[in-house]
Amino acid sequence: GSSLDPQEHSMEPPAVPEEEEMPLTTAPGPVGHQLFGYVGIEAVLDQMKLKTMKTGFEFNIMVVGQSGLGKSTMVNTLFKSKVSPKSSQPGQQERIPQTVQLQSITHVIEEKGVKMKLTVTDTPGFGDQINNENCWDPIIKYINEQYERYLREEILITRKRKIPDTRVHGCVYFVPPTGHWLRPLDLEFMRRLSKIVNVVPVIAKADTLTLEERAEFKQRIQEDLKTHAISVYPQEDFDQDPDDRALNDRIREKIPFAVVGADQEHQVNGKRVLGRKTKWGIIEGE
């Protein structure tokens, strides 16, 4: 009994000698860690990946801008297939609608075993009228309706295992390549829409500008956005740690993106690239 510690004095004799009790202690250090074996937390990522690849992703994108800015071509260029509402309905007579209409079309794109349910929403008629007063109202109404529909499904007691996600994840706004300032219509639209959706402004048909004009136009647009306190994607709320902040700052420097849409392939140095052919060379869209 003299070899026992003071706290081990009890009415009952110890069941096993002291030497065999050492590995069961919870004292800090390598000895205490022998209690815990392999838990398998690292396998959670693989399980999530398999489950997500099985169910697939949902991505809903909205394109907004005047007619003739290459919205359909740009979406087709992004996803390497004819996914825009206009290109999927060939032979339809082109005519400017009297009011802003919304057309949505859904595709399932698969690449290397990963499925993505892509929904593209076009807004024909936006900014095409003489009087464009309140032309953003149908767009705001549509976006809010999708939020409400998702919320109604989410608050049900017996809800679906996978709620259909029709919310607009991103709105790409096409700015005409004027080389001057943003128009009042552009400012008003982005000011209203940036409060409810991620707005990504892009300079459409950027190949119509020289490099100097493009740099000046970008700078003017950035000044306009700052002056009118318009928050475009990525917002500062996404700067959760220094790495995210550094990445987002690099993206903010390039906004608005200057884009060139192309739906035809050309031969360049023995490989086929998407681009626009001019008499002085080929502009690669990618």
CATH number at residue 240: 3.40.50.300
**169 touches 210 (CB < 8 A):** no
**115 touches 56 (CB < 8 A):** yes
Residue 228 is assigned to a structural domain of this protein: yes
Residue 32 is assigned to a structural domain of this protein: no
29 has a pLDDT exceeding 60: no
212 has a pLDDT exceeding 90: yes
Range in 182-196, 208-222, 253-267 with the lowest mean pLDDT: 253-267
The pLDDT value given to residue 268: 81
Type of residue found at 70: G
What is the rounded CA–CA span in Å between residue 278 and residue 286? 16
The pLDDT value given to residue 94: 57
Q: Residue 116: phi, psi to the nearest 5?
A: -135, 125
Sheet holding 114-122, edge to edge: 103-111, 114-122, 57-64, 170-175, 199-203, 257-258
Give me the chain's average pLDDT, please: 81
Task: Look at the chain and report how many structural domains it folds into.
Answer: 1
Range of the domain at 231: 44-83+99-284
Residue 18 is assigned to a structural domain of this protein: no
Q: What percent of the chain has pLDDT over 70?
A: 81
55 has a pLDDT exceeding 50: yes
The pLDDT value given to residue 89: 56
Q: What percent of the chain has pLDDT over 90?
A: 22
- The arithmetic mean of pLDDT across residues 52-77, rounded, is 86
Measured at the CA of 82, the angle between CA 54 and CA 118, to 5 degrees, comes to 35
Residue 53 is assigned to a structural domain of this protein: yes
Residue 208 is assigned to a structural domain of this protein: yes
Q: What is the pTM of this model?
A: 0.76
Residue 25 is assigned to a structural domain of this protein: no
Find how far residue 174's CA is from the centre of its chain.
17
Confidence class for position 35, pLDDT limits 50, 70, 90? low
Over residues 137-172, the pLDDT tens digits come to 989 999 999 999 999 988 888 888 888 888 999 999
Residue 69 is assigned to a structural domain of this protein: yes
Residue of higher predicted confidence among 110 and 15: 110
Residue 9 is assigned to a structural domain of this protein: no
Type of residue found at 164: P
25 has a pLDDT exceeding 50: no
284 has a pLDDT exceeding 70: yes
115 has a pLDDT exceeding 80: yes
66 has a pLDDT exceeding 80: yes
Sequence-distant (6+) residues with CB within 8 A of 77 are 261, 262, 263, 274, 285, 286
182 has a pLDDT exceeding 60: yes
